[in-house]
Each structure stands twice: as C-alpha cells, then as structure tokens.
C-alpha cells in the first residue's frame, strides 16, 4: 500500500497535473529566463502568488500546504520548510537546484523528484519565493 501511495504522489499526480495544466508552466527552460547572481531571473521579478499556486500543485503533496512536511508517506521524512532558523541557512540557489534537479542532486532524499521538465526556471524561482514565506518560526 505504501508503494502505491508513493507511486501516486510522486509520479502519477504530477504527471496528470502536467498533462492537464492550462497555465503552460511545464516544458523546458524559458529562453529569456536565466539565473542572475542574486537568484532572481534576469529581467523578471518573482511572483509569490504564482509560486504559491505552483507549490500547492507540485509540492504540497509531500511537504504539506504549510511546508512542515509532516506527511508519514515517505521515509526518511521530507524536509520541514517552515523552520526559520534552518531555512535562513539555505541559499535560494540551493532551493532552486533541489526543485529543478531533485533531492539526489544535492545529496538528499532521492524520492524528491526533479521538476525541470515540468517547470521552467521562472516558475521554480516563483516557488522558491513562496517557500521563503513559509518559514515563520
């Protein structure tokens, strides 16, 4: 049963969302979006509201709507994105990399999928900006 839940939450749900997504956030990186040194995308501003929408669609199934990651679906458990002291130590570029390339790319849980085929850089930066709003305590 746990494998079935893992399969549904990490593969099938994102796949179905990507196929049915009317917003056009899936696909390869945007040609006009390249990472600037400060982590923002060149010529673009980050959109926290869009980041929230994307986070709820792609990330909340594992990390929870509040980012606390208390789902008992995965072992080891997923990261708690709501701990301010911890998140203050994590650079935006790291968050971008783990979302884009997956947990294994940064030595973390390999169950964290790479989202680079579903989300372009601008969408990932928007998610990073929203994740920053979760860390309050």
Please report, in tens digits, the pLDDT of each residue of the chain (137 residues total).
444 444 444 443 443 333 334 344 444 333 333 444 344 444 458 999 999 999 999 999 888 899 998 766 666 678 889 999 999 999 999 999 999 999 999 998 888 999 999 999 999 999 999 999 998 76
Residue 78's pLDDT is what? 81
Sign of the alpha-carbon torsion through 128, 129, 130, 136:
positive
Regarding pTM above 0.85, the answer is no
Asked whether 85 and 75 are in contact (CB, 8 A), the reply is no
List, in order of start, the domains of the chain with CATH numbers.
2-22+55-134 (1.10.760)
- Which pLDDT score, from 0 to 100, does residue 96 have? 98
- The pLDDT of residue 136 is 76
Per-residue b or e along 109-122, where b marks 16 or more CB atoms closer than 10 Å to that residue's CB: bebbbbbbebbbbb
SS3 41: strand
Q: How far apart are CA 127 and CA 96, in angstroms?
A: 8
Q: What is the pLDDT of residue 70?
A: 73
Distance in angstroms (rounded) separating the CA atoms of residues 21 and 57: 10
């Amino acid at each position: 049963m746990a494998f079935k839940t893992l399969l549904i939450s990490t593969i099938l749900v994102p796949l179905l969302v990507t196929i049915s997504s009317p917003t056009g956030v899936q696909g390869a990186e945007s040609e006009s979006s390249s990472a600037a040194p400060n982590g923002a995308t060149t010529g673009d501003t980050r959109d926290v509201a869009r980041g929230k929408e994307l986070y709820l669609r792609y990330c909340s199934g594992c990390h929870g709507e509040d980012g606390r990651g208390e789902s008992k679906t995965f072992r080891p458990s997923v990261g708690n994105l709501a701990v301010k002291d911890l998140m203050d130590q994590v650079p935006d570029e790291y968050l971008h990399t783990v979302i884009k390339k997956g947990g294994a790319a940064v030595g973390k849980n390999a169950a964290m999928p790479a989202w680079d085929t579903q989300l372009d850089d601008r969408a990932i930066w928007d998610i990073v900006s929203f994740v920053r709003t979760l860390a309050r305590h």
